Structure 1
C-alpha cells in the first residue's frame, strides 16, 4: 500500500458513520434507490418478475450504488481500492443468489431470512475452496455490517415505542439486564474465553445478531468468533420461531403475553415478525414493539460494554498503576454507535412521519443488503471446522442454556406485565 493512500486513513468506525449518513442524506435529498424484486414461486415466475429487463436494471443500479459507497469507504480506511473492485462483484453476486433463494415462495413459507443463505453460501465456498490471502484480506466485512447498523437506527423510532406504553421498554430492560448477567456468569463458569463470553451474553439478551456485531465492534473482537456466535443465533432462531407460537397456542396464552414472549426471547427481528404473524395481529404488534425496545438499548449496551472492556482488558504499562483515562475510553469507544443513536434520534424527532414513510422501505432494503453482503463476507473468511474444533462445545452449551433461561424468564415477565 502506498504512503499516499495511508495518509487518507480514517478510523473505520468514523468512516461508517460518514457513509451511513451519506446514504441517509442521498435518500432524503437526492436519490431514492428503487427496490429490486426477488420474490418468485416458479421458473416462469422467476423469469417474469425477477429476471425481466426492468428489474435487472434496478439490480444493476443498486450494484453501482453499493460499489460506489464501498469504494469511498475502502479509500477512507486506507485499504486497497483495486482489490476491493476485484472482490466486491463476487460478493455481490453470491449475495444475490442468497436473496433469490430467500425470495422463493416455499422458502418464505418457512420464514428463512436471506442472511441465513448469505452465511451458508459464504461458509460453503470459504471452507471447500482455497481462497487466496489477498481475496480474504480485501473482504470488507466490518465496513458492511457497521453501515447496516447505522442504517438500523433509522428504523428504531421512539414514538412507536412510546405509543405502546412503557411496558415494552420496561420488559426489555429487565430481560436485558437479567439474561445478560446470567449468560455472562454461565460463560465464566464454563470457562468460555472473554470475547465469546461478551458476544454470547449480548446476543442472547439484547437483539441477537445486531447485538453480537455491536459487541464485537465495541471490544474489537475476532471476526471468526463473531461468525460462530452469529451462526448459533441464526440456527436456534428457526426452531424457536416455529415452535414457540405452537406452544403458546397449545397452552392458550393470551395474544399480548405471547407477543411479549416472542419479542423478548427470539433473537432476530425477522424471526420475531414471522412468529408474531403466525399468532395474530396483536401478538405481532407487541412482539415488534418489545424487540424495537431492545434495539433501543443496543447503543447504551455497546457503550457500557466498551467501557467495561477498556477497564478490564487495559494491557498498557500505565494500567498496572492506574485505571484507563477518559481519553483511552473514548479511543476504544465504538464510534458507529454514535451513528446508530444519531440516526434513531433524527428519524424519531426531526423528520416528519410523511418523509419517514417515503424513505423507510428503501432504507430498510439498503440496511438488509449491507447486512447480507456482510454475512456473505463473514462466511467467506471463516474456517468453520477449525473454529468448532478450537472452541470445543462449551460456547454452544453456554448459548443454549442461556437461551433456555431467557425463554423462561421472558415468559414469566410477559405474564406479570401483559397477562
Structure 2
C-alpha cells in the first residue's frame, strides 16, 4: 500500500470530522431547543413506531405526527449533503441513494415494531441486516444507491450521539476497567491470529498483522489502519476486511442467541458482545437485538472506550515491526516511526463521543432534579431516537454491501487463521465478562 493511499486527508474532508460535527450539532440544537422551550419542535423529528399487532394502530401513530418522517429525512439529508459536498462525494447521487435508504429504514423500523416479530426477537437491527443481505445478494444495486451505503460514516454519527446518552461519570469509572479487559482480549487475539497465520498457514507477516488487527481491535478501520502502517498489499487489506465482515455478520446472530440461551444479564451480555464482536456497527446490531439499553451501554463502554482506542497504539507497534524486521531486506534506509503515528491512526470520532457525553453531563449537573428529569425526557430521549435511526442506516448498509460470493473467494488459509482467533476471543470474552469483571457490568444502569 503506497504512501499516497495511506496519506491522511485534510481534517475537513474526513468522515470522522463530519460525524462529530453533525452529531454534536444535533446535541447542541436539541439542548438549545429544550432551554428555549422548543421541545415540541424537537419531537417533530423523533419518529418512532409503537408496538403494533394490527395496521390500524401503526397508521394511527403515523397520523398523529405526519410531519415527523419529512422532518427527520430533511434534517439528515441537509446535514449529510453538506458533508458529502465537502468530503468530495457526488452530492446528487448520494442524496438520491439516501432517500431510498431512508425509505427502507422506515419499512424495517415499522416491521421491527410488530408484536409478533418482537416475540421472535426479529427487531429492527436484525431485520435491517436481513433485508439488506437478501436484496443486496439477489439483485444488482444501482450505483447511485450504493453511493449512500456509508456504513462507517453512519456508525460514527451514531456513536457520537451515543455519547449524549452516557454520563461522563460512567465513562470515567468504566474506562480503566474496559481498557484492562480490552487489553487482555486485544493482545491475546492479535497474537493468536498472527501466530496462526504465520506459523500454521505460512502467510506473510504483514498480512497476518492486518488480519490480527481486524480481529482484535475495531474491525474494518483497524484492518485499514494497520495494513497501511505495515505497508501490507492492497489485496491483503481487502481479504482482512472480508474476514471481519464475514465473522461480524455471523456474530450478529450468534452472540445475542448465546446470551439469551445462557441467561446473561443485559450489562454482562453487552460487555461480552463488546469484547467479542469484530466491528462497531455489527456490535451495535447485536447489542441492540437484546432489546435492553444496558446492553447497548456496556457494549459501547467495552468496544468504543476500550478496544477502539487501541488502533493508534497498534499502528505504531506494527509500523515499528514492519520497518525494523519485516521490511529490513527491502528498506534502503531505516525509517523513523514517531509517536505521531498514534495520533494519526487514532479514531477521532471517539473524541466526539466523549465531548457529547461531557456536554450532557455538565448540563445535568447544572440544573435541579426536576429540570434534569425533563431534560432526560425531552432532550436525551429524542437524541436516543436519532441515534437509533443512524444505526438503522448502518445495519441496512452492512446488509446491502455484504456479498456472500466475495466472502468465500479468498481461499481457506486467511479464514482458518481468523477462525483460530475467534475460537480464542469468544470464550475469553465470555469468561472476562461473566467471571472477572461481571460485578461492574451488572451494576451499569
Return the TM-score normalized by structure 2. 0.70
Partners of 1:86 and 1:224 lie apart in 2 by 30
CA shift in 2, pair 1:364/1:195, >3 Å: farther
Change beyond 3 A, Cα 1:223–1:366? farther
Corresponding position: 1:338 with 2:351? yes
Do the aligned residues in 2 keep the contact of 1:149 with 1:340 (CA within 8 Å)?
yes
Q: 1:299 to 1:152 in 2, by over 3 A?
A: farther
In the other structure, the counterpart of 1:361 is 381
Which shifted more, 84-93 or 375-384? 375-384
Report the alpha carbon displacement of residue 328 of structure 1 after superposing the two structures with TM: 6.0
Q: Which residue of 2 aligns with 1:200?
A: 215
Pick aligned residue for 2:49 from 17, 35, 38: 38
Alpha-carbon distance in 1 for matches of 2:138, 2:288? 34
Aligned positions of 1:292-331 closer than 5 A: 292-308=301-317, 311=320, 320-325=333-338, 330-331=343-344
Q: Report the CA distance shift for 1:371/1:258 in structure 2 as closer, same or farther (over 3 A).
A: closer
Change (3 A) 1:393 1:168: same
- Structure 2: any 5+ residue segments left out of the alignment? 1-9, 34-40, 229-233, 278-282, 440-445
Instruction: Write the deviation string for residues 9-61 of structure 1: whole angstroms up to 9, x where unpaired.
Output: 723332222222222221221363443223444233554455x3224421221
1:94 aligns with 2:94: no
2:427 matched residue in structure 1: 408
| C-alpha distance in structure 1 between counterparts of 2:267 and 2:141, whole Å | 49
TM-superposed deviation, 1:89: 0.6
Superposed, which structure 2 residues align to 1:143-154 within 5 Å? Answer: 143-154=153-164
Asked if the contact 1:153–1:343 (Cα under 8 Å) also holds between the matched residues in 2, the reply is yes
Q: State the number of aligned residues.
A: 392
For structure 1, the residue ranges without an aligned partner over 5 or more in a row are 1-6, 203-210, 250-254, 278-283
The match for 1:160 among 159, 170, 175 is 170
**1:138–1:259: structure 2 CA closer, same or farther, 3 Å change rule?**
closer
Q: Is the 8 A contact 2:47 2:68 kept in 1?
A: yes
Aligned-pair Cα RMSD in Å: 4.3
Q: 1:48 to 1:375 in 2, by over 3 A?
A: closer
Matched residue, 1:373: 393
Q: Does 1:12 align with 2:15?
A: yes
Call closer, same or farther: CA 1:288–1:135 in 2, change over 3 Å. Answer: closer
| In 2: Cα distance, 1:365 partner to 1:227 partner | 31
Change (3 A) 1:339 1:302: farther
Alignment partner of 1:235 out of 246, 250, 253: 250
How far apart, in 2, do the equivalents of 1:404 and 1:159 lie? 34
2:132 corresponds in structure 1 to: 122
Q: Quickly say closer, same or farther: Cα 1:286–1:194, change in 2 above 3 A.
A: closer
Q: Secondary structure at the match of 1:61?
A: helix
